[in-house]
Amino acid sequence: MTTALSDLLGLMELERIEVNIFRGQSRDIGSAQVFGGQVLGQALSAAQQTVADRSAHSLHAYFLRRGDQQAPIVYEVDHQRDGRSFTVRRVVAIQHGRPIFNMAASFHVPEPGLEHFDAMAAVPSPDELASSLELSEQMSDSIPEKMRRFIALQQPLDFRPVHPEHYFSASKLPARKQIWMRVAGELPDDDALHRSLLAYLSDYQLLGTATLPHGLSFARGNVQMASLDHALWFHRPVRVNEWLFCDFDSPNAAGARGFARGRIFSQDGTLVASSAQEGLIRLWDDSKEKATADFRGQR
């Protein structure tokens, strides 16, 4: 196991400091604040540790304040419901005495039922595509340093965009993004761990789909972006160290907010999860100083 993969798994291994209270650390992925997917994954990990014999089928979360990468995050889990078939947990993430995030997660006892799912789009296999790291090396002269550092720090995650021009271009493009992704390396056969890691992965790339029609990118410094809320539905068991095809689209942007949806398929075309996210999207005004204050507190 590589150091990068070990570090990623370590993020999901929370320290239990009291009944229903857990503590997690942070990992630098090249952003100024704690990565939202990390808090999603850790919050789900905390909730899962209080539930037995049932799996998470959905989570709905709000990001309240930017997280401090230098400080631990405390997760408090509240038992909202323990029913015969469903269990619900509420999780609050706290730093410096204030909530930075809250989430409701629902768990379901496995049972048979109706089955259908959308067909996956016909796209090249991941073996036919270059990784984001390879693309950044090939296009190093045209990619901002901020973006190159961000990509380099994503190991052990492997992203392979179906349309590389959607990944780096400043042109105005359709509001759709298609990406293969996985955790590169062997992982334990632990369903709860894979669901936590999918929550972590689900925050990558999604909101950026809403900027494609406008030729904007946070990496180019011309737009301010932050996740406001995030939802994830687990339809079927998932293994994140196997290739997952993510088909994202953004049907709307308005009022300084962008909305994006995602469908996540296993490599054989089975729909394993769906996601949705709304985020803050503000244009930088170059005539004014680019503030570094906590923009989530300025909504």
Both tokens assigned to 163:
């349309």
Count of CB atoms situated within 10 Å of the CB of 71: 12
Q: Any catalytic annotation for residue 277?
A: yes
Those residues with Cβ within 8 angstroms of residue 217's Cβ, 6 or more apart along the chain or in another chain:
147, 168, 170, 208, 211, 223
Instruction: List the catalytic residue out of 227, 250, 274, 275.
Output: 227
Instruction: List the catalytic residue out of 158, 203, 247, 249.
Output: 203
CA proximity to 55, closest of 194, 191, 238, 244: 191
Phi, psi of 272 (to 5 degrees): -105, -20
Count of CB atoms situated within 10 Å of the CB of 67: 23
CA proximity to 70, closest of 41, 95, 44: 95
Q: Any catalytic annotation for residue 227?
A: yes
Both tokens assigned to 98:
């204030």
Helices assigned H by DSSP within 74-233 = 132-138, 145-152, 164-168, 191-201
Instruction: List the catalytic residue out of 95, 131, 132, 277.
Output: 277
Q: Any catalytic annotation for residue 45?
A: no
Point out the residues that are catalytic. Answer: 203, 227, 277
